[in-house]
Amino acid sequence: MDVEVKGIVKSFGELLVLDHISFNVRSGEFVAVCGPTGCGKTTLMKIIAGLLKPDSGEVLLAGEPVDYRRHNIGFVFQEPSYLPWRTVWGNVKFGLEAKVSSLGWKLTREEVDKRVKWAIELVGLEGFESYYPHQISGGMKQKVALAQALATDPHLLLMDEPFGALDIQTRYYMENELLRVWSKLRKTVIFVTHYIEEAVYLADRVIVLSSLPAKVKAEVDVSLPRPRDVTSSRFVEIRREITELIRWW
């Protein structure tokens, strides 16, 4: 699904957070958004998801104004959103149940179970269906969150620093797992991260935001084949370019 972010302005009281943010994302593209801490990345993601209204500007999905009730959007947050009293299966199922109850999706119990099974197998959680959140690792909790989002078969997948709380080794593993899933499904992905190396490793293109009030400072193409070598001269060059963009604004 194509995404058009057009002139988004958002303030909270007298604090201007987003100042005419505009960029496009092509269907099936993996785009990362980077910027200084506190520059409004999460606010932007909520607006793209249709959860927060901008003061001006608009977000179009496939040419239509974004509406979470009409558009199928998956959202993965930094802190895994799970219900501790539900198993892995139950948590993945919860997202579908919410769509059925709140948006009136017409899915039979068999169809729901089929989607849950597919999503769990896709992210590599088969065998852990009956485990509870306290029984699995941080990386597996994020797999649950990803499976929950994918079970709804979203047109657009938004990820807001989903691996930020993980240790380096687990984060690297989850990055590769995400790329494996994305290469198979080719969903449109917008991925917020404050780790520049992560953005360059994952994305086709990186949107660089300035500090408050946030503007789009640059769009950096990452024309590198996958899997990417983080030690290659071109990778290091792109990482340095984005670092300098963020540092001097």
Tens digit of pLDDT for each residue in 199-245?
A: 999 999 999 999 999 999 999 999 999 999 999 999 999 999 999 99
Asked whether residue 51 is domain-assigned, the answer is no
- How many angstroms separate the CA atoms of 54 and 73, rounded? 18
Q: Report the CATH number that the domain containing residue 121 is assigned in CATH.
A: 3.40.50.300
pLDDT given for residue 82 in this prediction: 82
* Whether the Cβ atoms of residue 44 and residue 208 lie closer than 8 Å to each other: no
pLDDT given for residue 70 in this prediction: 80
User: Over 60: is that where the pLDDT of 249 sits?
Assistant: no
Q: Quick one: residue 245, left, alpha or beta (phi over 0 = left, psi -120 to 50 = alpha)? A: alpha
If asked whether residues 107 and 122 sit together in one domain, one would say yes
Asked whether residue 43 is domain-assigned, the answer is no
pLDDT given for residue 56 in this prediction: 97
Q: Quick one: residue 150, left, alpha or beta (phi over 0 = left, psi -120 to 50 = alpha)? A: alpha
**Can you tell me the mean pLDDT for 158-177?**
92
Helical ranges in the chain per DSSP H: 41-49, 88-103, 109-122, 138-150, 168-185, 196-202, 233-247
Per the structure block, which two tokens stand in for 156?
């657009």
If asked whether residues 66 and 76 sit together in one domain, one would say no
Burial label, 127 (beta-carbon count in 10 A; 0-12, 13-18, 19+): exposed
Structure confidence by residue, pLDDT tens digits, 12-50: 999 999 999 999 999 999 999 999 988 999 999 999 999
With CA atoms as reference, report the closest residue to 165 among 185, 142, 136: 142
Structure confidence by residue, pLDDT tens digits, 106-165: 778 888 899 999 999 999 999 999 999 999 998 999 999 999 999 988 989 999 999 988
Among 48-57, 64-73, 135-144, 179-188, the minimum mean pLDDT is found in: 64-73
If asked whether residues 78 and 168 sit together in one domain, one would say yes
Asked whether residue 47 is domain-assigned, the answer is no
Domain boundaries, position 86 = 72-173
- How many angstroms separate the CA atoms of 123 and 181, rounded? 7
Q: How many CB atoms lie under 10 A from the CB of residue 6? A: 15
- pTM comes to 0.94
Q: How many CB atoms lie under 10 A from the CB of residue 132? A: 16
If asked whether residues 63 and 88 sit together in one domain, one would say no
pLDDT given for residue 212 in this prediction: 92
If asked whether residues 61 and 82 sit together in one domain, one would say no
Asked whether residue 99 is domain-assigned, the answer is yes
Per the structure block, which two tokens stand in for 222?
């990452």
Structural domain count of the chain: 3
If asked whether residues 77 and 154 sit together in one domain, one would say yes
Asked whether residue 90 is domain-assigned, the answer is yes
Asked whether residue 234 is domain-assigned, the answer is yes
User: Over 80: is that where the pLDDT of 7 sits?
Assistant: yes
If asked whether residues 13 and 105 sit together in one domain, one would say no
Per the structure block, which two tokens stand in for 21?
């943010």
Q: How confident is the model at residue 101 (pLDDT cuts 50, 70, 90)?
A: low
Asked whether residue 81 is domain-assigned, the answer is yes
Asked whether residue 41 is domain-assigned, the answer is no
If asked whether residues 90 and 168 sit together in one domain, one would say yes
With CA atoms as reference, report the closest residue to 157 among 145, 140, 169: 145
If asked whether residues 77 and 13 sit together in one domain, one would say no
* Whether the Cβ atoms of residue 156 and residue 188 lie closer than 8 Å to each other: yes
If asked whether residues 128 and 155 sit together in one domain, one would say yes
3-state class (DSSP) for residue 193? coil
pLDDT given for residue 109 in this prediction: 84
If asked whether residues 65 and 138 sit together in one domain, one would say no
Burial label, 104 (beta-carbon count in 10 A; 0-12, 13-18, 19+): exposed
Among candidate residues 71, 97, 125, the one where a domain is terminated: 71
With CA atoms as reference, report the closest residue to 57 among 210, 189, 214, 199: 214
Residue 30 parent element (H or E): strand 30-34
If asked whether residues 161 and 244 sit together in one domain, one would say no
